[in-house]
Amino acid sequence: MPGATTGIWGKNGPAAWALVESWLGAPLRPVPLDALVLCYLGAFGPATVADIQVWSGLTRLCEVVERLPVQLLRGPADQALYDLPDAPRPAEDTPAPPRFLPEYDNLLLSHADRSRVIPHARPVPLPPGNGATGGTFLIDGLWQGTWQLRDHKLRIRPFTRLGAEDGDALLAEAAGLSAFIAPQATQDIVLDEP
């Protein structure tokens, strides 16, 4: 598929394409652009066109979004946000439970304006070398710290002091994460001070 392999993978596209096909043991199929945009919105909407472009590496997606059956919403700065018409959208004051994210989770990486998820312009943790060393966690939908599992210890490092209710909810979620990661082992859960 000449040309299609260079878009988001740059000049190494053909080699990357071949590597992925080799790994899958099957040829890659092109995904229609409309389906790609709808898939993104299903995972990360509501989002701006710039968000979709950052995630996909593609440009000129305004006309694609405008022809799709999506719902137009307005963000806090009156920016145009798009979402699937039947996507769940809880009330603005609905609290979000704590969530642990793995290394390089798309939630932190898939937006042009990350301030809706990352307060205080903190950079996404992308360590140098061949891999990440820990995940991140959200409190009320915002990135509030990191976590790491090492030597049978789940260590949680919040950026700021947590209130008692948030701390308790985070520890309960950590117990669930620990049981999921290593159901046959006991993990000590350590909540560090900021």
Output the CA torsion 93→99→104→108 (10° steps): 10
Interatomic CA distance for residues 65 and 71, integer angstroms: 10
Interatomic CA distance for residues 23 and 187, integer angstroms: 34
Interatomic CA distance for residues 139 and 96, integer angstroms: 7
Residue-wise over 78-116: b if at least 16 C-beta within 10 A, else e? Answer: eeebbbbeeeeeeeeeeeeebbbbebebebbebbeebeb
- Provide the pairing of β-strand 188-191 with 153-158: parallel
Q: Number of C-alpha atoms within 13 angstroms, CB side, residue 130?
A: 0
Residue 49: closest CA among 39, 37, 36: 37
Per-residue pLDDT 10s for the chain (194 aa) are 344 444 445 556 677 778 888 888 888 777 789 999 999 999 999 999 999 999 888 999 999 999 999 999 998 889 999 999 999 988 888 889 999 998 877 777 778 888 778 888 787 766 555 555 688 999 998 899 999 988 888 999 999 999 999 999 999 999 999 888 888 877 899 999 98
Interatomic CA distance for residues 81 and 72, integer angstroms: 6
